[in-house]
């Protein structure tokens, strides 16, 4: 599989590569940044993405071994479902689907995230919308004997967004984080899709 299967995608990536120029990113980090920029047309993400040491390798190994993927909302889930189907068919869940009603004092995504954690603590978690879900996940990770395979921290907005990302930054877990207020479901989906492509190509190198 290649990210350049479609001519328009090939042309778009060529434009991105030309305008990005040299970046202090390794090859796999660059592939993720490029896909995020392709999804958003926002070159600032090249400097906002933070990769913890070993995070990409941890995610690739987990995805190749059919690790579940948990998203906060259905928009992220739908954004990666196609790539999941083309690659490893990982079990795929949206936390919000686990909470028809929120627990007292919590949001639906936060409630659903806590329920997903009970079932899939070692999953790949992709948060692209709800900072409350990321904060809940951070609290779970802080006391977990075994951390999740990866946390994608990319909620967007103004309320609790920066706080949730700072909480994630303080944890010794594999993480790909978008600094500041920017992020969103397309960003979280783009990160996971890029990881799926990297994981697939790692097992199926080009001849």
Q: Quick check: 190 and 197 in contact, CB under 8 A?
A: no
Q: At what angle do helices 108-119 and 131-142 cross, to 10 degrees?
A: 30
74 contact partners, CB below 8 Å, separation of at least 6: 94, 96, 97
Active site residue 38: yes
> What does the DSSP assignment read for 100-141?
SSPPTTS-HHHHHHHHHHHH-TTSEEEESS-HHHHHHHHHHH
Q: Which of 10, 38, 50, 78 is catalytic?
A: 38
Query: Within a 10 A sphere around the Cβ of 3, how many other Cβ atoms?
Result: 17
Please provide residue 29's backbone torsions phi and psi, each rounded to the nearest 5 degrees: -60, -40
Q: Quick check: 45 and 190 in contact, CB under 8 A?
A: no
* Of 194, 86, 186, nearest in space to 150 by CA: 194
Q: Which residues on adjacent β-strands are paired with residue 125?
A: 70, 151
Tokens 């783009």 belong to 190
Please give the positions annotated as active site.
Answer: 38
């Amino acid at each position: 599989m290649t990210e350049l299967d479609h001519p328009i995608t090939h042309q778009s990536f060529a434009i991105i590569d030309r305008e990005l120029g040299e970046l202090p990113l390794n090859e796999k980090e660059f592939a993720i940044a490029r896909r995020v920029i392709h999804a958003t047309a926002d070159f600032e993400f090249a400097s906002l993405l933070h990769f913890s040491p070993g995070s990409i390798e941890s995610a690739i190994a987990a995805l190749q071994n059919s690790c579940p993927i948990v998203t906060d909302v259905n928009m992220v889930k739908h954004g990666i479902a196609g790539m999941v189907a083309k690659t490893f068919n990982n079990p795929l869940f949206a936390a919000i689907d686990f909470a028809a009603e929120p627990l007292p004092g919590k949001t639906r995504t936060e409630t659903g995230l806590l329920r997903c954690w009970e079932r899939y603590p070692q999953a790949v978690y992709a948060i692209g919308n709800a900072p409350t879900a990321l904060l809940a996940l951070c609290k779970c990770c802080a006391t977990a004997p075994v951390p999740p395979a990866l946390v994608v921290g990319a909620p967007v907005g103004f309320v609790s967004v920066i706080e949730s990302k700072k909480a994630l930054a303080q944890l010794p877990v594999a993480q790909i984080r978008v600094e500041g207020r920017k992020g969103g479901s397309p960003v979280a989906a783009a990160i996971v899709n890029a990881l799926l492509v990297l994981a697939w190509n790692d097992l199926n190198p080009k001849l």
